[in-house]
Amino acid sequence: MSESPNEDALLDKIINVAKKNPKGISNKDISAALPELSTAELVAAINKLLQQGLFDLYDQGGSLIYRLKAQSSKPAVTGDNEEKVVFNLIEEAGNKGIWMRDIRLRSNLAITQVTKVLKNLEGKKAIKAVKCVNASKRKVYMLYNLEPDQSVSGGPWYQDQDFESEYVDILNRQCLRFLQQRADKIKNNPRGPIVGRTQSFATAAEVQKYITDLRISNETLTVEHVVTILNTLVYDGKAESSVYPDGSKVFRAIEPLIPPPGLVQVPCGVCPLIRKCYSEGLVTPQVCKYMDEWLEQQ
């Protein structure tokens, strides 16, 4: 594999899989977590990680197992004092990173010196620059093998700093679908409505497994990510949540108590231009595209 941003992203993904399985991973585990990888890409990536000294190789029952080295999250820096000072500042910042301005102020180095040191450290793959979702024109620096905090990357809901509203909407609908299927399955439970209501709840882990099995996401969604989506269903009045005695949070689909009034269903009910809408003029029902779309759906 040649050095490229795509290669770096691939290596990072495999490293993240290994971080979640500290006892070791096999080729089968990597393929299951990253089904888009071809066999050739997988072999080349593993060889690269072994060459960089990031993985240890073991033979377990005739199968090759790769384990992330504990010291790989803190690469050795053998440069001059300036390089060590900058590296230590970046290491202290953890997975939230540090701005170049803060590095310059805390190290008392000139901006040209900081720029040179950062470039050298990036070339050694000791650190990496990460775009911050809440500051599009600025980057933060962190150790190369760290996964950025969600406050920096925006989590799986962001791609190249853009909020993926369509992706979130798909997850929202699929989570609701799972809860509705659970509710339909136990409807008219012969053991009574109270038992039926209890059995209609699902844990976030169950929903997360359902979403993972659908393979609709290229990102690895954690239970916490799914809880975020499920909470939006609660806020929208499509689901309710409860807490089991063991402290686990559960969710179930519900029917809205009161259907939306007719005026809200018609686009006029929420149109900001309704006070300027007349039978004649620039804004008129006869040429309103929102009214046409609503009528087509009826």
pTM: 0.44
CB 141 within 8 A of CB 98: yes
Chain centroid to Cα 86, Å, comes to 29
CB 267 within 8 A of CB 275: no
Euclidean distance between CA atoms 68 and 15, whole angstroms: 7
Q: How many CB atoms lie within 10 A of CB 32?
A: 11
pLDDT above 50 (res 222)? yes
- What number of helices (H) and strands (E) belong to the chain? 13, 10
Please tell me the least confidently modeled range out of 22-31, 49-58, 283-292.
283-292
Domains of the chain: 5-71 (1.10.10.10), 81-153 (1.10.10.10), 162-253 (1.10.10.10), 265-297 (no CATH)
Q: What is the pLDDT of residue 72?
A: 44
For the segment 148-189, what is each residue's pLDDT rounded down to a tens digit? 777 676 666 666 656 677 878 888 888 999 998 888 877 665
pLDDT band at 3 (very low <50, low <70, confident <90, very high): very low
72 in helix, strand or coil?
A: helix
CB 208 within 8 A of CB 199: no
Bridge partners (DSSP) of residue 239 are 253
Bridge partners (DSSP) of residue 58 are 65
Higher pLDDT pick, 67 / 268: 67
For the segment 238-287, what is each residue's pLDDT rounded down to a tens digit? 888 888 777 778 898 887 655 555 544 556 655 656 666 777 766 777 77
51: Cβ contacts below 8 Å, ≥ 6 apart: none
Q: What is the pLDDT of residue 295?
A: 66
CB 121 within 8 A of CB 77: yes
Bridge partners (DSSP) of residue 65 are 58
Q: What is the pLDDT of residue 195?
A: 55
Between strands 239-243 and 249-253, the pairing is antiparallel
